[in-house]
Amino acid sequence: MRWFRLCAALLAAFTLASAQSPTGKWIAKYSSDDEAREIVLALNVDSGGAVTGYVLAPQYEDRIVEGKASGGQVIFVAERDANNNTKRRSNYSAVLEGDKLKLTMPPSGNRPPQVIEFTRTSAEAPAPLPPAPPKIALAAPAAVRDNGLARTPPMGWNSWNKFAGRVNDKVVREIADAMARNGMKAAGYVYVNIDDTWESARDSQGNIGANSKFPDMKALADYVHGKGLKLGIYSSPGPKTCAGYEASYQHEAQDAKTYAAWGIDYLKYDWCSASRVYAPDAATMQAAYAKMGEALLASGRHMVYSLCQYGMLDVGEWGAKVSGNLWRTTGDISDRWQSMSHIGFDLQPGREKYAAPGHWNDPDMLEIGNGGMTDIEYRTHMSLWCLLAAPLLAGNDLRDVKPSILEILTNKEAIAVDQDKLGKQGVRVAKNGDLEVWARPLADGGHAVGLFNRGDAAAKVTAKWSDVGVQGAHKVRDLWAHADRGKAKDEYTAEVPSHGVVMIKIAK
């Protein structure tokens, strides 16, 4: 492993004044609320500097497979069970400073590497981490009935992309206020979804609670409902959520009833630590999601069911069978052109056969307005998601949003494409290098067409009617310019900026 050899060589050449051994058990406590969690770091350094041990967090365990310590510096490679019966390796480095050890944690999803300070609780060589228990295998369940919801792709807002663990009751109320007054609600955005980090420990009866950031979840739901909006929440089929909070493993029916009592309208259910307890096969994953699908149906309240398992194990084949209304098709999006364009253009073709009213492919939440892309790129983001019949879940701070961003998010002509009741997902119909044409049939007999330029310079893009599936002369409407372009026969050509789009509707 090139990274490890390089770091080991640097360690061998570098010596700090302190020669204290990092052997022992180290603890880091972390919390953004009243629910304190901890990470355990166990290190054992032999006389030659070789390192063994593990990193144990609420939602994962990383076992050290290779490591080296020298002069107060430690580097190691740790491995954990991942999905699809694979192993995931992560690179760590640490510096010993007196009685503290500063560990650089590897990046995770959109989160960059972070440094966490550990305190030693024992200088004894730690015992090895016991082998993980056998994974639970489940038989594929009978189909769960359709909940009748999300006949068009859900629209709303989710807290994670902007706020992550900083979300709280005040933020959610203020976002609901903003949506009600700034045109988002009027444009169709109705769900206000709380992502991870709201959870508290269970009470003596096993009921899930909310932590101090959310002092009264029922009152919050009532407030959001009073704005004419709906409230969403987040959990996992595993023991812990992605951020290490209490999840729904073995409490599915109980949690669904709690959500119903609070007035929840939407559940995002994220696989995360489920890979620690469940076997990595499609039947088991399907059964784990079916448990919550059944529980939501039995809860007494209608809740949209969002499966977040990153498109693994052919989820499109069975997502609707567990009462899922939408299912993620890829890993997490980030606020970068490379991430958004790869997820949208490269990873969605072929999935269109799974989309239909009530059941949607989900290429992840919108990054529009978070600052990592240009307005031109955000317009491309919005256009492609609308052509894909994707859920539209804004992820920016709607309390303080630029007019140009609000204009992108609330473009009613683009949204009409996304919400078209025919429910047909668009497909790529032509590709010439960086130039692509995507098309989607509409309920009124027309077609929505996107002329995309993924290249670094402006270019002319042509949509041929034969590729779209029409012929003759048709009226053309530019959905971003909000302008009629007259009739075009056989094809339509437009100058498209770098990373940009021209989105049109071809009349019947």
CA dihedral 119, 124, 128, 129 (to 10 degrees): -30
405: phi then psi, degrees, rounded to nearest 5: -70, -45
> Which 3-state string (H, E, C) describes 303-340?
CEEEEECCCHHHHHHHCHHHCCCEEECCCCCCCCHHHH
- The whole-angstrom distance between residue 131's C-alpha and the CA centroid of its chain comes to 30
Token match 């010596």: residue?
15
At 305, list the tokens: 């069911």
At 318, list the tokens: 């069975």
At 230, list the tokens: 């709906």
> Which 3-state string (H, E, C) describes 121-178?
EECCCCCCCCCCCCCECCCCCCCCCCCCCCCCCCEEEECHHHHHHHCCHHHHHHHHHH
d(CA 150, CA 302): 11
d(CA 258, CA 279): 28
Q: Which of 62, 195, 196, 332 is catalytic?
A: 332
Residues in the chain: 508
d(CA 283, CA 263): 31
Q: Examine the residue annotation and report whether 270 is marked as an active-site residue of this protein.
A: yes
Report the DSSP pairing between strands 447-453 and 500-506: antiparallel
Please state, as a whole number, how many other Cβ atoms lie within 10 Å of the Cβ of residue 48: 7
d(CA 245, CA 263): 21
- The whole-angstrom distance between residue 196's C-alpha and the CA centroid of its chain comes to 11
Q: Which of 270, 364, 418, 420 is catalytic?
A: 270
Q: Examine the residue annotation and report whether 222 is marked as an active-site residue of this protein.
A: no
d(CA 504, CA 448): 6
Task: Tell me the catalytic residues.
Answer: 270, 332
